[in-house]
Structure 1
Amino acid sequence: MVREPGPENKAENGNGARLTPVMQQYHEMKEQHPDTILFFRIGDFYETFNDDAKLVSRELDIVLTSRSKSGDNPIPLAGVPYHAAEGYIAKLIAKGYRVAVCEQVGDPKTTKGVVKREIARVITPGTVIDPALVPSTAATYLMAALPDAKQKEWGISLLDISTGEFFAAIVPHDPILESLGSEIARYRPAECIVPANLPDTFRDRIRDAGVIVNACRDELFTCDRAEKLLCGHFGTASLGGFGFESRSCATGAAGAALAYALETQHAPLTHIRALSLRNSSESLVLDAVTLRNLEVRESIRGGKGATLLSSLDLTKTPMGSRLLDRYLSRPLTDIAEINRRLDAVEFLAGRTAARIAFRDSLKACADIERIAARIAYGNAGPRDLVALADTLETLPALKQCFSTPKENVPALAAEAINAIHNLPEIIALIRNAIADDPPAVARNGGIIRPGYSGELDSIRGVLHSGKDWIVKLQEKEREATGIRSLKVGYNRIFGYYIDVTKPNLSLVPPRYERKQTTATGERYTIPELREKETLITNADERVLSLERELYVQLLGILKKDIPAIQETANAIAVLDVAAALAESAQVRNYVRPQLDESDDVVIRDGRHPVVEQGVSGGFVPNDTELSGSGTQIMIITGANMAGKSTYMRAAALICIMAQAGSFVPARHARIGILDRIFTRVGAFDDLASGQSTFFVEMLELANILNNVTPKSLVILDEIGRGTSTADGSSIARAVLEFLHGKGSAGPKTLFATHFHELIGMEEKLKRVKNYHFAVRETKDEVVFLRKIIPGATDKSYGIHVARLAGIPKKVTERAEALLDEDLNAPVKNGSRPQRYTQILLVDDKAETPAPAKNPVLDELEAINPDEMTPLQALATIAELKRKLKRDGGNP
């Protein structure tokens, strides 16, 4: 690989006052993209200069050199080979940089003076479309955000240029951008564009959410300009059909996103065929905190830990994986639509043979959704087209898996099957045009199959015969000269030559014309070789040129079928997700949830869908029964490590799965449709903004209390533990009272706490009930049984957990002594306060004297709590308590 010499490579003069024509061309392009790294094509390299070169050298760890080394003002220079540029650009994009790619559009061999160059595209984190730059099968969104004039709401739009997905939404405008942050967490955009006049404080908030922010011209966001652009792109007279009436900030955001994509890609982007306005009431709202705490898509510890998505993602195609991600991050509130999904899952769960055959067929499916986008953009590679043909050939077998009579196929599955297009014309076209094992890129030739183009075959014949002639010439000259090591070689600079080593130079005949001296000998030519070289070189160049022309024509033909390919990709994704969820349901013993409009959440033998996958010895299931008008709030006390947090998260995840259209890990589940799930779990500092753990806790709690509705589910774990016991307990009690309210219904709440004084709230608030986790305690050990049962406890077993964690024995023994002192210390009025007792399963081997038997204890021993519902257990306990009170507690 060389940097080709030529007039454009002349160095600047020493004082830097004048620029060569090529550097003048470079500066003109750079002025158009001042905040972008400019990859400037010169020969076989993309060059960067000045500050760009220093940045690229540092970020990519490549050598920094310079032009005009002999002058007073050398120009920093760093370059990468053009054929390897995508890998380098991908690294820069991953670091958040923008890269403008400037290509040579003129032919250096026929151009007099400076070769013409143009910006081919600007690559940004949110507008990547090249397969080497798209980091994974996940969606890569460009977000545009625009506040309305009164700053009461935000219009946002999200565009995945690699697939064509495009939608907008309206979210509330709050001072700390909580709602906008939730949308960012839900969709994880790679880049966000905002108006240049947006205050820095707002930009910083978006950056703090981990998104690259770019300010764009304010005019891109104006409603009139945006509406005109959108209508022109979609060929409509207005945006009324998209639901954008009187939604100026949403219109402005959508128009800005499309304008930015068009400006960066320098192409019409015809694969972006639809736009929708999403209503927040259509989905179960999961804010950023909830997505994090419940580990819906990302592990709370970072990295690639187990999540709900990773646990359920048994899909076989990239399209299916992206769709499942959308299902889980945006569960539905429409019962009819949820049941359509559940019907499809149930259908496939009950047809094991068909499901297995279908999933096996899916293994051959490529990411045709993104291939369609690359065809539209014009950068689809030859292997993309082969993969497309391979996928299309599997479609008849896919559809054959659903050969059941149509009346038995659920509506969603039937619609998807009907949306899968058989496209034999595309298959035939690609098979006829593209070689069996083509190179990854089209620029190097070898992509067009013999027989597709008569003209190409003819030129290839000339080229092939010419190269055969070269082989015969080599043998002929060896015989004529007696030089057995003589070789006929070729390179791009000097063309064809006859190579003779130094020991054989005396045998060179006078008819040889010396062409070049090398370290090992001399290179020569002869008139007939020069003549054939011209013929071969012209044929070689013509083959490459004609192959490129034919390939561009082929992409143009395929563009008309992009809508059918996209519809097929979406249909495959729907069926892939249904089959994956059916696989989970059957293999993991999930059940179909019942969805209704009640204010109840009833789960029998619920399990945590992620934790149970890694638990040895089996996961202990538990019931959950919440009702806005019944047991609205469960106060959960008990031992550390007993499973409180896992239990609460499991209940929330089951609700998410149910409303996403998945079967759930339980024996039975009936879910009254939820509008939001709130969580306050664990302790996190926000060091970047100087916010303490407790302040973050209070911010998250404020968001819950200000936005909760009777249709919400609230998960609260250890509210108030970040401050003093008195303050924290008071806050926790006030929160309980607030959530309980004075009406007849309230948000369903799971409230775990170590403030044991709160268990007295059961007597004061009618919709509050106490629960705790059963423990088996002996003289020497504590066994956590992971079973939730009615009643309260004031024992947390913190010292036992400290011992398990490896705290030095000296410390834990001292802690036990201090605890005994505290528990046995006299109180001012001379009596100890009443203490609640953990329901224990006592080990028979414990060396404790047997207490006198009370008849009530006989009844208690006969009870099997595992076979009782919480309400039955509460009723039984109340009856036993009444008997004890009647008998005075005596045996």
Structure 2
Amino acid sequence: MASYTPMIQQYLKIKAHYKDAFLFFRLGDFYEMFFDDAVKASKELEITLTSRDGGGADRIPMCGVPHHSAKGYIEQLVQKGYRVAICEQTEDPKQAKGVVKREVVQLITPGTIMETKVVEDNKNNFLTSISSFDNNSAFGLAISDLSTGETRVTLIHGRIDDVLQEIYALEAKEIVVDSDLKELIDKHMWDGVSITLSKENDTDIPEQFQSLVSSIKQQPLVIACGRLLQYLHKTQKRSLDHLQPFVLFETDQFMKIDYYSKRNLELTETVRSKGRKGSLLWLLDETVTAMGGRKLKQWLDQPLIHRGAIEKRFSIVETLLNEYFVRQELRDLLKDVYDLERLVGKVAFGNANARELLQLKKSLAQVPSIVKGLESLNNPYIRELMNTLDPCEDLKLILEQALQENPPISVTEGDLLKDGYNELLDKYRDASRNGKSWIAQLEKQEKEATGIKSLKVGYNRIFGYYIEVTRANLHLLSEGRYERKQTLANAERFITPELKEKEALILEAEEKSIQLEYELFQQIREQVKTYISRLQQLAKLISEIDVYQSFATLSEQRHYTRPCFSEGRELRIINGRHPVVEKVMGSQEYVPNDCMMSEGRELLLITGPNMSGKSTYMRQVALTAILAQIGCFVPADEAVLPIFNQVFTRIGAADDLISGQSTFMVEMLEAKHAIMKATQNSLILFDEIGRGTSTYDGMALAQAIIEYIHNNIGAKTLFSTHYHELTALEMDLPQLKNIHVSAVEENGQVVFLHKLQEGSADKSYGIHVAQLAGLPEQLIKRAEVILTQLEAEKSTESVQQVNELEEREVSVKEQPAQLSLFADSNVTNNDKFTTKQKKVIDLLLLQDIMAMTPLDAMTKLYELQKMLK
């Protein structure tokens, strides 16, 4: 250490406290990085790696970025999951004795970044903290979005996997834990999930945040909140007045949709492209404000399970649906409402500029008209909303009186405030403006006096004001008229005593004006801070109104209907549609389908060919339930639904290559999660479980899963399969019913009708699907030949077994008759059976049941049944 220069020693001392972050070390107009930071940053940011002498034996690796453009580089690093410590000069270099004092003023992390390029407008940027209790059997989970000030906390009983599932569903960007828990989470966190893991051992509530946790009584939750608040306090090192009091929520208050199901149902992003377009959120989002977009996503992440709260949302949506002109007026007004939540965050942080305060003023100007529009609607819930809307008229008046209509982005260059706002500021401005008028008049006079039309009076920061004359016109100047100041290649610059006197007056007025204006602007920003809680409440209500009008707009456009909730367990959907597929199809006609599941009809076994629409049908049932429980109308002619507490899915086949798991392992993990967590009030969707392994293994597992759900869980379940043998379960499981997607064959081509019918499918049409996919004709014909051979072999095997039975019957007849202890002990002697039926029954009697697997037995039973048919 001692061998390094004082500046490098200072760098190393500061870096020792931020080992897991890039240290942006301010040197003049640049942020510099040294040693390993420089090597890594040069690769990540694609900037030049250089070196410098730092006093040691070797030159030190170094790279840097200009301070005025550092924001973009910081965003790049944070987006990649890194942390960036901003180290500023805290004293004037001119007054420094030795090395300029420096200290870290902020630590920017994925969960604390405020910049809108990284933080999406319609998406929360969640930071979470976890604290464990009772030997890691219970966990406190605290959640915050620093950009909006939202905070929440909950207690989760279970394993660390259950907590991580909740965090994955939130799409959180960062988790804060203590040293012990960090190791445990490292082991359980999924590979490929982009979440930054940070450490904070201190859980004491900082004094300035005591009020935020006053309503939280459970000590484990207070500890989780303390960890999160300590982390924010230490990393941000500034005012966080916009943080809202922690809201306690129970995960059981909402429908649980785990990470798997959220992905499989494509609620917020598509499986294939990972993009928003094509997801349910994309379809639903008719909001016109950023706040409304975030609120919509929150509602979609947490559907309600309390009927009264859902019916309240239905009532508001229905009123807005019926009042087209009021709804359109509201939409137009909301378009001029900016992101109040994040504007308030910037005000609290102290980095809101004049343009952003102007956006706040324009937003507040819309509130009275929004209230007036709501007044015309006859709905008690809307009236309740309207009565709590606070237009903050006094704040709007302050901003209206103070701010220019078109202020600059910078707050340190003046021209922010209106004339007349401050008397002293007006005096400085008058002096500056009059001085500049005098300068303009001087230029005009000198042009006339000298006859030099190209003469001009200019200004630069080094020399101040000057008179410039081109070299070609110098002979027109009389001796001694001006004092020479600077010589250029093609001109000379001059000054006069009077010009320098005016310059002093102008520059002094400008400097004082800009300084005073900045101080006044800071005072205005501090005034706005006192309105933070009122503005946050206003933002909450406006975002809700925006979501309600979005639901109403969508429901009108797509012809959705208001669902009802059944008192028992009835599920009845008439002409239901998949909302996203229907929209994507556009002008093509979507084939609707019913779904009927009464109390005695809990499990539907769905068969049918590939591409016939089984998966779409299953998804549309789940999406209909989710839409209903977020308070939106649903794509159906009629819908009666139970209220589900959880939705579980296993749909689609995709290897998890990142974590090295096969399709079949992913299937089993998702199936296990559903089976272990589901209750009678859950909805389960299983699509072709077992297809990732051998036929017999897959069929055995599928049957076992069906039986377990039927006998042990009793949840509403849709189970699609290509194992037609499973349809025989309808005879043994009273609550299971077979349905199938119909298809017809015309001229050797299969036509999918996409219509669900009772009963089971008799063919899979696999070769026809391959033909539709465009496989070579030669390959298709060969497959047909092989299929014919396999079917013939199977048929021949059954015939051989029957022949063997007949031969055995002949042999038995030739033997002496044997007395029977009981009448009609041999069922084949019963006259009510035909000869063919007797043969099948006797064939059944010959089977060695105890030597067969359950799957072999089921397969043989299916063959015998086909022989009888």
- TM-score between the two structures when normalised by the length of structure 1: 0.84
- Give, in angstroms, the shift of residue 161 of structure 1: 0.9
1:295 corresponds to:
266
Structure-1 separation of matches of 2:497 and 2:45: 48
The alignment status of 1:607 with 2:577, answered yes or no, reads yes
1:428 corresponds to:
397
Query: Deviation digits for residues 487-545 of structure 1, max 9, x if unmatched?
Result: 44333344444445555667775676665555555555444444443333333322222
Query: Deviation digits for residues 168-209 of structure 1, max 9, x if unmatched?
Result: 1233443xx542332123211122222123354522543636
- Give, in angstroms, the shift of residue 831 of structure 1: 7.4
Distance change >3 Å, CA 555–CA 335, structure 1 → 2: same
- Give, in angstroms, the shift of residue 40 of structure 1: 3.7
Structure-2 separation of matches of 1:583 and 1:592: 13
SS in 2 for 1:830: helix
1:692 corresponds to:
662
Contact 1:181–1:288, Cα closer than 8 Å, also in 2: no
One-letter amino acid of the structure 1 residue matched with residue 281 of structure 2: L
Contact 2:200–2:230, Cα closer than 8 Å, also in 1: no
SS in 2 for 1:168: strand
The alignment status of 1:96 with 2:81, answered yes or no, reads yes
Structure-1 separation of matches of 2:100 and 2:514: 20
SS in 1 for 2:658: helix
Contact 1:182–1:286, Cα closer than 8 Å, also in 2: no
Query: Deviation digits for residues 250-285 of structure 1, max 9, x if unmatched?
Result: 332222112212222222312112212221210100
One-letter amino acid of the structure 2 residue matched with residue 274 of structure 1: P
Superposed, 1:379-778 pairs within 5 Å as 379-404=351-376, 408-411=378-381, 413-476=382-445, 478=447, 484-501=453-470, 503=472, 515=485, 518=488, 520=490, 523-615=493-585, 616-627=587-598, 629-741=599-711, 746-778=714-746
SS in 1 for 2:181: coil
1:798 corresponds to:
766
One-letter amino acid of the structure 2 residue matched with residue 208 of structure 1: D
**1:324 corresponds to which of 267, 286, 296:** 296
- Give, in angstroms, the shift of residue 418 of structure 1: 1.6
- Give, in angstroms, the shift of residue 605 of structure 1: 1.1
Distance change >3 Å, CA 480–CA 205, structure 1 → 2: farther
**1:144 corresponds to which of 117, 129, 140:** 129
2:211 corresponds to:
235
Structure-2 separation of matches of 1:670 and 1:60: 55
- Give, in angstroms, the shift of residue 100 of structure 1: 2.5
- Give, in angstroms, the shift of residue 751 of structure 1: 0.4
Structure-1 separation of matches of 2:482 and 2:51: 41
Contact 2:174–2:197, Cα closer than 8 Å, also in 1: yes
Contact 2:337–2:366, Cα closer than 8 Å, also in 1: yes
SS in 1 for 2:375: coil
Distance change >3 Å, CA 540–CA 112, structure 1 → 2: farther
Structure-1 separation of matches of 2:298 and 2:24: 36
SS in 2 for 1:197: helix
Unaligned runs of 5+ in 2: 803-867
Distance change >3 Å, CA 379–CA 738, structure 1 → 2: same
- TM-score between the two structures when normalised by the length of structure 2: 0.86
When structure 1 is superposed on structure 2, of 470-479 and 793-802 the one drifting more is: 470-479
Unaligned runs of 5+ in 1: 1-11, 834-887
Distance change >3 Å, CA 520–CA 69, structure 1 → 2: farther
How many pairs does the alignment contain? 801
SS in 2 for 1:170: strand
2:224 corresponds to:
253
- Give, in angstroms, the shift of residue 478 of structure 1: 5.0
Contact 2:139–2:156, Cα closer than 8 Å, also in 1: yes
- Give, in angstroms, the shift of residue 782 of structure 1: 1.6
Structure-2 separation of matches of 1:207 and 1:501: 72
Superposed, 1:70-85 pairs within 5 Å as 76-85=61-70
1:191 corresponds to:
174
Contact 2:161–2:188, Cα closer than 8 Å, also in 1: no
- Give, in angstroms, the shift of residue 434 of structure 1: 0.9
Superposed, 1:269-284 pairs within 5 Å as 269-284=240-255
Structure-1 separation of matches of 2:449 and 2:97: 43
1:844 corresponds to:
none
When structure 1 is superposed on structure 2, of 194-203 and 608-617 the one drifting more is: 194-203
Structure-2 separation of matches of 1:27 and 1:520: 51
Structure-1 separation of matches of 2:506 and 2:134: 67
One-letter amino acid of the structure 2 residue matched with residue 96 of structure 1: G
Structure-1 separation of matches of 2:541 and 2:584: 33
- Give, in angstroms, the shift of residue 338 of structure 1: 0.9
SS in 2 for 1:401: helix
* Percent identity between the two aligned chains: 41
**1:368 corresponds to which of 331, 335, 340:** 340
Structure-1 separation of matches of 2:482 and 2:97: 33
Structure-2 separation of matches of 1:102 and 1:663: 52
Contact 2:3–2:55, Cα closer than 8 Å, also in 1: no
**2:310 corresponds to which of 338, 353, 361:** 338
**Rg bigger for which structure?**
2
Structure-2 separation of matches of 1:122 and 1:531: 48
- Give, in angstroms, the shift of residue 42 of structure 1: 4.5
- Give, in angstroms, the shift of residue 133 of structure 1: 4.6
Contact 1:754–1:796, Cα closer than 8 Å, also in 2: yes
One-letter amino acid of the structure 1 residue matched with residue 429 of structure 2: R
1:213 corresponds to:
196
- Give, in angstroms, the shift of residue 87 of structure 1: 2.6
Distance change >3 Å, CA 621–CA 577, structure 1 → 2: same
- Give, in angstroms, the shift of residue 165 of structure 1: 0.9
Distance change >3 Å, CA 457–CA 567, structure 1 → 2: same
Structure-1 separation of matches of 2:54 and 2:95: 29
- Give, in angstroms, the shift of residue 807 of structure 1: 0.9
Contact 1:381–1:441, Cα closer than 8 Å, also in 2: yes
Structure-1 separation of matches of 2:449 and 2:186: 78
Structure-2 separation of matches of 1:56 and 1:81: 14
Distance change >3 Å, CA 64–CA 458, structure 1 → 2: farther
Structure-2 separation of matches of 1:17 and 1:108: 21
Contact 1:335–1:596, Cα closer than 8 Å, also in 2: no
Contact 1:206–1:213, Cα closer than 8 Å, also in 2: no
1:167 corresponds to:
152
SS in 2 for 1:689: coil
One-letter amino acid of the structure 2 residue matched with residue 660 of structure 1: I
Contact 2:690–2:701, Cα closer than 8 Å, also in 1: yes
Query: Deviation digits for residues 4-45 of structure 1, max 9, x if unmatched?
Result: xxxxxxxx9xx963325xx56555543443332233444544
Query: Deviation digits for residues 866-886 of structure 1, max 9, x if unmatched?
Result: xxxxxxxxxxxxxxxxxxxxx
2:845 corresponds to:
none
The alignment status of 1:158 with 2:143, answered yes or no, reads yes
Distance change >3 Å, CA 152–CA 397, structure 1 → 2: same
The alignment status of 1:19 with 2:6, answered yes or no, reads yes
The alignment status of 1:179 with 2:147, answered yes or no, reads no
Contact 1:416–1:572, Cα closer than 8 Å, also in 2: no
When structure 1 is superposed on structure 2, of 532-541 and 324-333 the one drifting more is: 532-541
One-letter amino acid of the structure 2 residue matched with residue 822 of structure 1: L
Structure-2 separation of matches of 1:46 and 1:94: 19
